[in-house]
Amino acid sequence: MAKAHLLKISVSGIRGVVGEFLTPALARAFAQAFGTYVGTGRVVVGRDTRASGPMLQHAVHCGLLAAGCEVVDVGVLPTPTIQIYTGATRARGGLAITASHNPLEYNALKMFNAQGLFFNHYERGELLDIYHQTAVREATNEEIRRVVCDPSGPAKLHFERVLRHVDVERIRARRFRVALDGVNGAGSQMSVRFLREILGCELHAVSVDQEKPFPRIPEPRPDTLGDLAALVRETSCDIGFAQDPDGDRLAVADERGVVLDNDDVLALVIDAALDRNPGPVVVNLTTSAVVDDIARRHGVEVYRTPVGEANVVETMQAVKAAIGGEGSNGGIIFPPVHYGRDSYTGMAFFLDHMAKTGARVSELHGRLPRYYRRLGQVAFEHGRLGPLMQALENSFPPAAKDRSDGLKLILPDGWIHVRASNTEPVLRLGAEAKTKERLDDLYETVLTTCSLRTQEV
C-alpha cells in the first residue's frame, strides 16, 4: 500500500489517474477491505466503458473473492442502475468502477452500502481504517465464493421504478422526436432502449458506441454539447438529452438546440415532480435560487446542504423530501425511484411534462425566473483559507451567512459561495444574481478580495 496516501478520497469513493496511483493492486486491496467491511455475502460490481474498466473489474473481483464475498457482475451499466439493483437485491453492498465525468485517463471505485447509497462519513471512516491498517479478511479455500452475472435484470428493474411515476401511454402517443448524446458511455445503449422501445420516441442518437469512449469532454455542459445542439436542429427534434459516462447526470437541449443551464434542468424537473406530489425540496448550497422560486409556487420548503450527493441524500431522508438534487452538476434525485442522481428519471419527467402540458421545452424554460450564474475555481495555499473567508465577509457586511460548507453570502439580489474542494487543492467559486451586471460585480469583488486569478469551469 505504498501509494495509499495518493488516493483521492471523496464522499463517493476513491479516484485517480490509472497507472499512476490507481493500479490493479490498489483496486484489489481496496475491494478486499470493502468486502471485509460489508461482510460475506453478495456484492454487486459494474463499470462504465473506459478501457481500464475490465482490468480494474478483474482486480475488484479478486479482492472481493479474497474477502469471502460472492460477486454479482452486472457488466457495463449506469451508476444509478447499479445502485438500484444493489438496494433491491439485498446485496451487502456494491462497487461501480467509473470516474463519472472525469477525463478518460481517470477511473474510480464508487462504493455503495446495502441500500445502494453512497457511504456516509461514519461508514467511509470505518472502511478506510480497515484499508489503511490492512486489517482485511482472508477467506479460506472452503470459503471462496463465485462470480455470477446478471447483465439484464438491473436495467429492467430501473425502468420499472421510473415508469411508475409517469404516464407512459401519454408519452408514447406524442411520438416525440428526441436527440441523444450518450458520450459512448455506460448508459448509451440502455438509453437507446429506454427512449425508443419503452417510451416510443423517434430517436436520433450520436455517441452510443460503447467501444469508443469518449468522443467529447465527458462532463455534459452547454460548452461541450455542440454535436447534440446540431443534431437537434438538423433533425427537428422536440428535445435533446445528454449524459455523462456513468449516466447519473443529465443535460437538456430545447427544440432550437439551445442547451439549458443544469440548474434550470433541475428546476423544471422539480416543478414537474411537485405538481404530482408536493413536499420539501433539498439541494446543495451552490444550486440556483430558481429552485426557491419554484418551491414557493408550490408552497413547500427548501433545505440546503454542503455540496456532495451523500450530503443531499442524508438531508432528503431526514426531512422526507419529495425531490432534490445538485443543479450545478445536472443531478436529479427522486426518492420513489432511488436516493441517488438519475438521468432516466429526468428524461421521463421531461417527456411526461411536455406531453401533459403540450408545451415546448423553450416555453417551459421561459416560464422560469431568470438568473445569471458563474462558476470558477482558483488555487489556494493551505493556511490562507481563514483569512480569505474573513476578508470576504468584511466585503459584504449586510449579507446573510451560511458556513456549513465554506462560506455562502446571501444578498437581496444575489449570492456568492466559496468552498475548498473535496478532491483538489483549489477553491470552488460560485455566484448568482438577477442581472448580468450585478453578477459580474459580485464575481469580480470576490476575485479582488481574494487577490486571485480564476480559471473558468
Q: Which residues are catalytic?
A: 100
Per-residue burial over 138-153, b = 16 or more CB atoms within 10 Å of its CB, e = otherwise: ebeeeeebeeeeeeee
* Under 8 Å between Cβ of 332 and 232: no
Contacts with 335 (C-beta within 8 Å, 6 or more apart), sequence order: 316, 317, 321, 322, 323
Instruction: Tell me how far apart the alpha carbons of residues 67 and 346 are, in angstroms, rounded to a whole number.
Output: 37
List, in order, residues 6 or more apart from 330 with CB less than 8 Å away. 220, 244, 249, 250, 251, 262, 265, 266, 341, 343
Residue 244 CA, distance from chain mean position: 9
For residue 7, give the amino acid letter. L
CA distance 109 to 12: 8
370: amino acid identity, one letter: R
3-state secondary structure of 418: strand
Instruction: State the Cα–Cα distance between residues 446 and 439, nearest whole angstrom.
Output: 11
User: Partners of 432 in the beta sheet?
Assistant: 373, 415
Grid cell for residue 93: 453492498
Residues present in the chain in total: 457
Place of cell 451586471: 437
Q: Quick one: DSSP state of residue 300?
A: -
Element (H, E) at 321: none
Sign of the Cα torsion 120, 326, 164, 79 reads: negative
What does the block give as the cell for 14?
Answer: 476513491
Judge contact between 378 and 454, C-beta under 8 A.
Answer: yes
* Percentage helix, strand, coil for the chain under 3-state DSSP, each rounded to 5: 40, 25, 35
- Checking phi first, is residue 299 left (phi over 0); if not, alpha (psi -120 to 50) or beta? left
**Helix, strand or coil, per DSSP, at residue 433:** strand
